[in-house]
Amino acid sequence: MRRKKPQDIRQDPRARQLLRTLVARYIRSGEPVGSQTLARHAGLDLSPASIRNILASLEDAGLLAAPHSSAGRVPTAQGYRLFVDSLLQVKPLSAEGVERLRQTLPAGATTQALLGKTSELLSAMTHFAGMVSVPRRESFAFRQIDFVALDAQRVLAILVFADGEVQNRVVQVRRAFSASELEQAANYLNAHFAGQPLAVMRARLLQELRQARRQMQALLADALDLGEQATAPGQDADMLVAGQARLLGLQELDDLDRLRALFEAFAEKRKLLQLLEQTARAPGLRVFIGEETGLAPLEGMSLVTAPYGRDGRVLGVLGVIGPTRMAYERVIPVVEATAAVLGAALNPEP
Protein backbone atom coordinates (compact mmCIF):
# COMPACT_ATOMS: atom_id res chain seq x y z
CA MET A 1 0.00 0.00 0.00
CA ARG A 2 1.24 3.45 -0.95
CA ARG A 3 2.10 5.54 2.09
CA LYS A 4 -0.13 8.63 2.11
CA LYS A 5 1.23 12.13 2.16
CA PRO A 6 0.57 14.23 5.28
CA GLN A 7 -1.92 16.47 3.46
CA ASP A 8 -4.01 13.39 2.57
CA ILE A 9 -4.55 12.34 6.17
CA ARG A 10 -7.49 14.64 6.88
CA GLN A 11 -9.36 13.36 3.79
CA ASP A 12 -8.73 9.65 4.48
CA PRO A 13 -11.62 8.24 6.55
CA ARG A 14 -9.62 5.14 7.51
CA ALA A 15 -6.69 7.22 8.76
CA ARG A 16 -9.09 9.45 10.70
CA GLN A 17 -10.78 6.45 12.29
CA LEU A 18 -7.46 4.87 13.26
CA LEU A 19 -6.26 8.16 14.76
CA ARG A 20 -9.55 8.64 16.63
CA THR A 21 -9.35 5.11 18.04
CA LEU A 22 -5.67 5.40 18.94
CA VAL A 23 -6.10 8.70 20.81
CA ALA A 24 -9.17 7.40 22.65
CA ARG A 25 -7.37 4.19 23.68
CA TYR A 26 -4.29 6.13 24.79
CA ILE A 27 -6.36 8.56 26.85
CA ARG A 28 -8.04 5.60 28.52
CA SER A 29 -4.95 3.49 29.25
CA GLY A 30 -1.93 5.79 29.09
CA GLU A 31 -0.04 3.06 27.24
CA PRO A 32 1.27 3.18 23.65
CA VAL A 33 -1.24 1.64 21.25
CA GLY A 34 -0.16 -1.04 18.78
CA SER A 35 -1.58 -2.17 15.46
CA GLN A 36 -3.12 -5.34 16.93
CA THR A 37 -5.11 -3.29 19.45
CA LEU A 38 -6.30 -1.01 16.67
CA ALA A 39 -7.30 -4.01 14.53
CA ARG A 40 -9.55 -5.19 17.37
CA HIS A 41 -11.11 -1.85 18.28
CA ALA A 42 -11.08 0.43 15.21
CA GLY A 43 -13.97 -1.32 13.46
CA LEU A 44 -12.14 -1.40 10.13
CA ASP A 45 -11.65 -4.38 7.84
CA LEU A 46 -7.94 -3.85 7.35
CA SER A 47 -4.99 -6.18 7.43
CA PRO A 48 -2.28 -5.62 10.09
CA ALA A 49 0.07 -4.54 7.30
CA SER A 50 -2.40 -1.93 6.07
CA ILE A 51 -2.86 -0.60 9.62
CA ARG A 52 0.91 -0.35 10.11
CA ASN A 53 1.23 1.51 6.81
CA ILE A 54 -1.45 4.06 7.81
CA LEU A 55 0.16 4.47 11.23
CA ALA A 56 3.48 5.18 9.53
CA SER A 57 1.77 7.89 7.46
CA LEU A 58 0.28 9.41 10.59
CA GLU A 59 3.72 9.39 12.18
CA ASP A 60 5.27 11.01 9.11
CA ALA A 61 2.61 13.72 9.34
CA GLY A 62 3.70 14.48 12.91
CA LEU A 63 0.45 13.21 14.43
CA LEU A 64 1.91 10.17 16.19
CA ALA A 65 5.19 9.24 17.86
CA ALA A 66 6.71 5.85 18.64
CA PRO A 67 8.42 5.57 22.05
CA HIS A 68 11.72 3.73 21.88
CA SER A 69 10.67 1.14 24.43
CA SER A 70 7.45 0.14 22.70
CA ALA A 71 6.18 -0.99 19.34
CA GLY A 72 3.02 1.04 19.92
CA ARG A 73 2.43 4.71 19.19
CA VAL A 74 1.21 7.72 21.14
CA PRO A 75 -0.40 10.94 19.89
CA THR A 76 1.66 14.12 19.60
CA ALA A 77 0.38 17.60 20.38
CA GLN A 78 -0.52 17.91 16.68
CA GLY A 79 -2.38 14.62 16.91
CA TYR A 80 -4.36 15.86 19.91
CA ARG A 81 -5.10 19.09 18.03
CA LEU A 82 -6.53 17.23 15.02
CA PHE A 83 -8.46 14.94 17.38
CA VAL A 84 -10.00 17.85 19.31
CA ASP A 85 -10.71 19.98 16.22
CA SER A 86 -12.28 17.42 13.90
CA LEU A 87 -12.50 13.91 15.38
CA LEU A 88 -13.85 14.46 18.88
CA GLN A 89 -17.55 13.80 19.43
CA VAL A 90 -18.77 15.88 22.37
CA LYS A 91 -22.22 15.55 23.91
CA PRO A 92 -23.72 18.33 26.05
CA LEU A 93 -23.75 17.81 29.77
CA SER A 94 -26.85 15.90 30.87
CA ALA A 95 -29.87 17.76 32.22
CA GLU A 96 -29.18 16.20 35.61
CA GLY A 97 -25.59 17.45 35.52
CA VAL A 98 -26.68 20.98 34.60
CA GLU A 99 -29.24 20.96 37.42
CA ARG A 100 -26.55 19.92 39.93
CA LEU A 101 -24.46 22.86 38.69
CA ARG A 102 -27.38 25.24 39.22
CA GLN A 103 -27.90 23.95 42.74
CA THR A 104 -24.22 24.35 43.55
CA LEU A 105 -24.01 27.82 41.94
CA PRO A 106 -27.28 29.41 43.04
CA ALA A 107 -28.38 32.80 41.76
CA GLY A 108 -28.25 35.42 44.47
CA ALA A 109 -25.03 34.22 46.09
CA THR A 110 -22.16 36.70 46.30
CA THR A 111 -19.82 36.83 43.34
CA GLN A 112 -16.82 35.76 45.45
CA ALA A 113 -18.72 32.76 46.80
CA LEU A 114 -19.83 31.75 43.30
CA LEU A 115 -16.31 32.00 41.88
CA GLY A 116 -14.78 30.03 44.76
CA LYS A 117 -17.34 27.26 44.32
CA THR A 118 -16.81 27.29 40.55
CA SER A 119 -13.09 26.50 40.67
CA GLU A 120 -13.68 23.75 43.23
CA LEU A 121 -16.57 22.35 41.22
CA LEU A 122 -14.57 22.23 37.99
CA SER A 123 -11.79 20.37 39.78
CA ALA A 124 -14.18 17.90 41.42
CA MET A 125 -16.08 17.15 38.21
CA THR A 126 -13.04 16.73 35.93
CA HIS A 127 -10.47 15.45 38.49
CA PHE A 128 -8.00 18.04 37.23
CA ALA A 129 -7.21 21.60 38.33
CA GLY A 130 -10.10 24.04 37.95
CA MET A 131 -9.65 27.79 37.75
CA VAL A 132 -11.70 30.91 37.22
CA SER A 133 -10.56 34.49 36.74
CA VAL A 134 -11.97 37.06 39.14
CA PRO A 135 -13.58 39.96 37.25
CA ARG A 136 -12.35 43.43 38.00
CA ARG A 137 -14.65 45.31 40.33
CA GLU A 138 -14.94 48.08 37.72
CA SER A 139 -17.31 45.75 35.84
CA PHE A 140 -19.79 45.72 38.74
CA ALA A 141 -22.38 48.29 39.71
CA PHE A 142 -21.92 49.74 43.16
CA ARG A 143 -24.75 50.18 45.63
CA GLN A 144 -23.24 52.63 48.09
CA ILE A 145 -20.02 54.45 48.93
CA ASP A 146 -18.97 55.90 52.29
CA PHE A 147 -15.87 57.78 53.43
CA VAL A 148 -14.14 57.66 56.81
CA ALA A 149 -11.16 59.86 57.72
CA LEU A 150 -8.11 57.88 58.84
CA ASP A 151 -5.81 60.86 59.33
CA ALA A 152 -5.07 64.22 57.69
CA GLN A 153 -3.73 62.60 54.49
CA ARG A 154 -5.79 59.41 54.19
CA VAL A 155 -9.48 58.60 53.79
CA LEU A 156 -10.98 55.11 53.84
CA ALA A 157 -13.45 54.58 50.98
CA ILE A 158 -15.97 51.81 51.72
CA LEU A 159 -17.55 50.47 48.53
CA VAL A 160 -20.62 48.23 48.69
CA PHE A 161 -21.35 46.52 45.36
CA ALA A 162 -24.66 45.36 43.95
CA ASP A 163 -23.65 41.71 44.42
CA GLY A 164 -23.13 42.26 48.14
CA GLU A 165 -19.32 42.38 48.20
CA VAL A 166 -17.68 45.11 50.26
CA GLN A 167 -14.27 46.58 49.47
CA ASN A 168 -12.18 49.02 51.50
CA ARG A 169 -9.77 51.32 49.65
CA VAL A 170 -7.42 53.85 51.22
CA VAL A 171 -7.45 57.20 49.37
CA GLN A 172 -4.60 59.71 49.62
CA VAL A 173 -5.99 63.27 49.95
CA ARG A 174 -4.40 66.69 49.66
CA ARG A 175 -6.04 68.14 52.76
CA ALA A 176 -7.88 67.03 55.87
CA PHE A 177 -11.64 66.44 55.53
CA SER A 178 -14.18 66.81 58.28
CA ALA A 179 -16.74 64.09 58.93
CA SER A 180 -19.45 66.41 57.59
CA GLU A 181 -17.59 67.00 54.33
CA LEU A 182 -17.02 63.30 53.83
CA GLU A 183 -20.69 62.58 54.46
CA GLN A 184 -21.76 65.20 51.94
CA ALA A 185 -19.31 63.84 49.35
CA ALA A 186 -20.66 60.32 49.82
CA ASN A 187 -24.24 61.55 49.59
CA TYR A 188 -23.49 63.26 46.28
CA LEU A 189 -21.85 60.19 44.75
CA ASN A 190 -24.60 57.86 45.99
CA ALA A 191 -27.35 60.14 44.71
CA HIS A 192 -25.86 60.53 41.22
CA PHE A 193 -24.08 57.24 40.52
CA ALA A 194 -25.52 54.40 42.63
CA GLY A 195 -26.41 51.43 40.45
CA GLN A 196 -23.77 52.18 37.82
CA PRO A 197 -20.52 50.29 37.20
CA LEU A 198 -17.44 51.94 38.65
CA ALA A 199 -15.92 52.34 35.20
CA VAL A 200 -18.94 54.36 34.06
CA MET A 201 -18.93 56.36 37.29
CA ARG A 202 -15.23 57.16 36.92
CA ALA A 203 -15.61 58.25 33.28
CA ARG A 204 -18.48 60.58 34.13
CA LEU A 205 -16.61 62.00 37.11
CA LEU A 206 -13.56 62.76 35.00
CA GLN A 207 -15.69 64.33 32.28
CA GLU A 208 -17.56 66.50 34.74
CA LEU A 209 -14.36 67.43 36.51
CA ARG A 210 -12.75 68.60 33.27
CA GLN A 211 -15.81 70.52 32.11
CA ALA A 212 -16.74 72.31 35.32
CA ARG A 213 -13.82 72.21 37.73
CA ARG A 214 -13.46 76.00 37.91
CA GLN A 215 -17.19 76.65 38.32
CA MET A 216 -17.97 73.93 40.84
CA GLN A 217 -18.48 74.71 44.44
CA ALA A 218 -15.66 73.57 46.69
CA LEU A 219 -17.76 70.75 48.10
CA LEU A 220 -18.63 69.30 44.70
CA ALA A 221 -15.00 69.50 43.55
CA ASP A 222 -13.88 67.67 46.69
CA ALA A 223 -16.54 65.00 46.17
CA LEU A 224 -15.40 64.41 42.61
CA ASP A 225 -11.77 64.29 43.68
CA LEU A 226 -12.56 61.67 46.31
CA GLY A 227 -14.74 59.67 43.95
CA GLU A 228 -12.11 59.70 41.21
CA GLN A 229 -9.50 58.19 43.51
CA ALA A 230 -11.83 55.77 45.27
CA THR A 231 -13.02 54.26 41.99
CA ALA A 232 -9.70 54.21 40.15
CA PRO A 233 -9.05 50.86 38.45
CA GLY A 234 -7.37 48.69 41.05
CA GLN A 235 -5.17 45.66 40.86
CA ASP A 236 -7.95 43.39 42.06
CA ALA A 237 -7.94 41.12 39.02
CA ASP A 238 -7.17 37.69 40.30
CA MET A 239 -7.71 34.04 39.63
CA LEU A 240 -8.98 31.29 41.89
CA VAL A 241 -7.37 27.89 41.42
CA ALA A 242 -8.55 24.66 42.99
CA GLY A 243 -7.37 21.07 42.73
CA GLN A 244 -3.69 21.55 41.94
CA ALA A 245 -2.95 18.47 44.03
CA ARG A 246 -5.01 16.39 41.59
CA LEU A 247 -2.18 16.85 39.09
CA LEU A 248 0.23 15.02 41.36
CA GLY A 249 0.83 11.49 40.19
CA LEU A 250 0.02 12.15 36.54
CA GLN A 251 2.60 10.41 34.40
CA GLU A 252 2.95 13.60 32.33
CA LEU A 253 4.32 15.31 35.44
CA ASP A 254 6.80 12.72 36.61
CA ASP A 255 9.66 15.18 36.09
CA LEU A 256 10.24 17.08 39.33
CA ASP A 257 11.53 20.20 37.60
CA ARG A 258 8.43 20.45 35.42
CA LEU A 259 6.19 19.77 38.39
CA ARG A 260 7.91 22.49 40.41
CA ALA A 261 7.60 24.96 37.53
CA LEU A 262 3.91 24.20 37.11
CA PHE A 263 3.15 24.74 40.77
CA GLU A 264 5.18 27.94 40.76
CA ALA A 265 2.96 29.12 37.89
CA PHE A 266 -0.09 28.33 40.01
CA ALA A 267 1.44 30.19 42.94
CA GLU A 268 2.23 33.27 40.89
CA LYS A 269 -1.06 33.12 38.97
CA ARG A 270 0.02 36.12 36.95
CA LYS A 271 0.93 34.33 33.72
CA LEU A 272 -2.09 32.07 33.93
CA LEU A 273 -4.28 35.10 34.54
CA GLN A 274 -2.82 36.84 31.49
CA LEU A 275 -3.57 33.76 29.41
CA LEU A 276 -7.15 33.64 30.69
CA GLU A 277 -7.66 37.36 30.02
CA GLN A 278 -6.46 36.84 26.45
CA THR A 279 -8.98 34.06 25.95
CA ALA A 280 -11.75 36.33 27.26
CA ARG A 281 -11.37 38.41 24.11
CA ALA A 282 -12.11 35.38 21.93
CA PRO A 283 -15.70 34.10 21.92
CA GLY A 284 -16.63 30.57 22.91
CA LEU A 285 -14.76 27.61 24.30
CA ARG A 286 -11.07 27.23 23.55
CA VAL A 287 -8.66 24.33 23.94
CA PHE A 288 -4.91 25.00 24.33
CA ILE A 289 -2.68 21.97 23.87
CA GLY A 290 0.92 21.89 25.07
CA GLU A 291 3.04 24.75 23.79
CA GLU A 292 -0.05 26.53 22.39
CA THR A 293 -0.51 28.08 25.85
CA GLY A 294 2.78 29.96 25.45
CA LEU A 295 3.73 28.91 29.00
CA ALA A 296 6.70 26.60 29.41
CA PRO A 297 5.30 24.99 32.60
CA LEU A 298 2.22 23.88 30.65
CA GLU A 299 4.07 21.95 27.96
CA GLY A 300 2.60 18.48 27.98
CA MET A 301 -0.59 19.88 29.52
CA SER A 302 -3.88 21.07 28.06
CA LEU A 303 -6.06 24.03 29.07
CA VAL A 304 -9.80 24.09 28.31
CA THR A 305 -11.37 27.53 28.85
CA ALA A 306 -14.70 29.27 28.36
CA PRO A 307 -15.77 32.86 29.08
CA TYR A 308 -18.54 33.67 31.56
CA GLY A 309 -20.44 36.90 31.97
CA ARG A 310 -23.69 38.71 32.49
CA ASP A 311 -25.83 41.26 30.65
CA GLY A 312 -24.00 40.35 27.45
CA ARG A 313 -20.61 41.33 28.92
CA VAL A 314 -17.70 38.96 29.48
CA LEU A 315 -16.58 39.21 33.12
CA GLY A 316 -13.93 36.51 33.20
CA VAL A 317 -12.85 33.08 32.07
CA LEU A 318 -12.96 29.71 33.77
CA GLY A 319 -11.22 26.53 32.78
CA VAL A 320 -9.52 23.27 33.58
CA ILE A 321 -5.83 22.38 33.42
CA GLY A 322 -4.92 18.74 32.96
CA PRO A 323 -2.66 16.46 30.93
CA THR A 324 -2.90 16.39 27.16
CA ARG A 325 -4.12 12.86 27.75
CA MET A 326 -7.37 14.13 29.24
CA ALA A 327 -10.87 12.92 28.34
CA TYR A 328 -11.76 15.97 26.26
CA GLU A 329 -15.26 14.70 25.54
CA ARG A 330 -15.91 14.72 29.30
CA VAL A 331 -14.06 17.92 30.25
CA ILE A 332 -15.34 20.18 27.44
CA PRO A 333 -19.06 19.87 28.26
CA VAL A 334 -18.33 20.40 31.97
CA VAL A 335 -16.45 23.64 31.23
CA GLU A 336 -19.12 24.87 28.79
CA ALA A 337 -22.01 24.08 31.13
CA THR A 338 -20.26 25.57 34.17
CA ALA A 339 -19.62 28.84 32.29
CA ALA A 340 -23.29 29.03 31.30
CA VAL A 341 -24.56 28.27 34.81
CA LEU A 342 -22.14 30.72 36.43
CA GLY A 343 -23.25 33.43 34.00
CA ALA A 344 -26.89 32.71 34.83
CA ALA A 345 -26.14 32.82 38.56
CA LEU A 346 -24.57 36.26 38.04
CA ASN A 347 -27.72 37.24 36.11
CA PRO A 348 -30.60 36.50 38.48
CA GLU A 349 -33.97 37.04 36.84
CA PRO A 350 -35.97 39.95 38.28
Per DSSP, the three-state class of 153 is: coil
How many C-beta atoms lie closer than 10 Å to residue 273's C-beta? 19
Contact in structure between 318 and 118 (CB atoms under 8 Å): yes
Residues 6+ apart with CB under 8 A from 87: 16, 19, 20, 23
Nearest alpha carbon to residue 302 among 85, 132, 92, 81 = 81
The per-residue pLDDT for 21 is 92
Spell out, as residue ranges, where the chain has pLDDT lower than 50.
1-6, 212-221, 224, 235, 350
- C-alpha 226/C-alpha 154 separation (Å) is 11
Nearest alpha carbon to residue 168 among 155, 159, 181, 178 = 159
- C-alpha 333/C-alpha 99 separation (Å) is 14
Q: How far is CA 33 from CA 2, 73, 80, 158, in A?
A: 22, 5, 15, 61
Nearest alpha carbon to residue 298 among 288, 306, 313, 307 = 288
Tens digits of residue pLDDT in 42-99: 888 888 888 888 888 898 888 998 887 667 889 999 999 989 988 888 889 999 989 9
What distance lies between CA 315 and its chain's CA centroid? Answer: 11
The per-residue pLDDT for 332 is 92
- C-alpha 6/C-alpha 54 separation (Å) is 11
The per-residue pLDDT for 22 is 93
Residue type, 310: R
The per-residue pLDDT for 213 is 46
Per DSSP, the three-state class of 8 is: helix
User: pTM score, two decimals?
Assistant: 0.64
Per DSSP, the three-state class of 294 is: coil
The per-residue pLDDT for 214 is 47
- C-alpha 345/C-alpha 310 separation (Å) is 9
Q: How far is CA 292 from CA 113, 219, 298, in A?
A: 31, 54, 9
Tens digits of residue pLDDT in 250-261: 555 555 555 555
The per-residue pLDDT for 267 is 52
- C-alpha 114/C-alpha 121 separation (Å) is 10
